[in-house]
Amino acid sequence: MSLITSLKKPLFLEKNDFYIFLIRDFFHDVRPFVQSSFDGFNVSIFAYGQTSSGKTHTMEGSNHDRGLYVRCFEELFDLSNADATSISQYDFYLTVFELYNDQVKDLLLECNIRPSKIFMGPLGSAIELVQEKVVNPLDFIQVLKSGLERRGEDVSRNNMSHLVVTIHIRYSNCITSEKLYSKLSLVDLAGSESLLAKDISGEIVKDFLHVSKSLSA
């Protein structure tokens, strides 16, 4: 399994011996990119590999080893607590969607009767998603869990779909009226064998870059 991170250019991080590594090892590798998202850059991290190579486990984790979703938010939350002052604050929002056969399924659509929404992607092809405000790691875990439950348990479908979890970071200063926005997108890609089966013209890398560009818009 590989993690592909995107800031200004792709960086591939390999972990081949899935059964002997801990998720914290992966988090150590991607931690600088979490810092970059906090600093105002739009960052995307892709988990790529064959089905059963450990992508979803790495992202979601287990009862004994927290996944990258939670670890990344915990890091952002800690950074915000260290940086916030009496005149400034950070707010975090979460969006979760599944992409299957070019169709988008908003997994937080039923979380709120009157949801707040956000547009993601470049002009002309942006998608409208429900965004849930999360105020601490426990809140994040609960909202994320509700979204993952809506994805369902169809293993074959899940293996052929992409899951995109995005943490939206909003900073505001009540004295200067300064407002900043950035986001960290964590993407659990479909099994690479599913992608390769469709890759007639060798366009997989271009697709990665296109998705990354859309998430960074």
Q: Is 50 annotated as a binding residue?
A: yes
Q: Is 53 annotated as a binding residue?
A: yes
Q: Is 55 annotated as a binding residue?
A: yes
Task: With CA atoms as reference, report the closest residue to 92 among 79, 105, 106.
Answer: 79
Task: With CA atoms as reference, report the closest residue to 108 among 153, 85, 142.
Answer: 142
Q: Which residues contact 122 (CB under 8 A, 6 or more apart)?
A: 213, 214, 217
Task: With CA atoms as reference, report the closest residue to 214 among 6, 1, 72, 39.
Answer: 6
Tokens of 20: 């002997």
Q: How far apart are CA 105 and CA 161, in angstroms?
A: 10
Q: Is 116 annotated as a binding residue?
A: no
Q: Is 95 annotated as a binding residue?
A: no
Task: With CA atoms as reference, report the closest residue to 3 among 62, 72, 106, 65.
Answer: 72
Q: Is 147 annotated as a binding residue?
A: no
Q: How far apart are CA 119 and CA 132, in angstroms?
A: 13
Which residues are annotated binding-site positions for ATP?
A: 49-56
Which residues are annotated binding-site positions?
A: 49-56
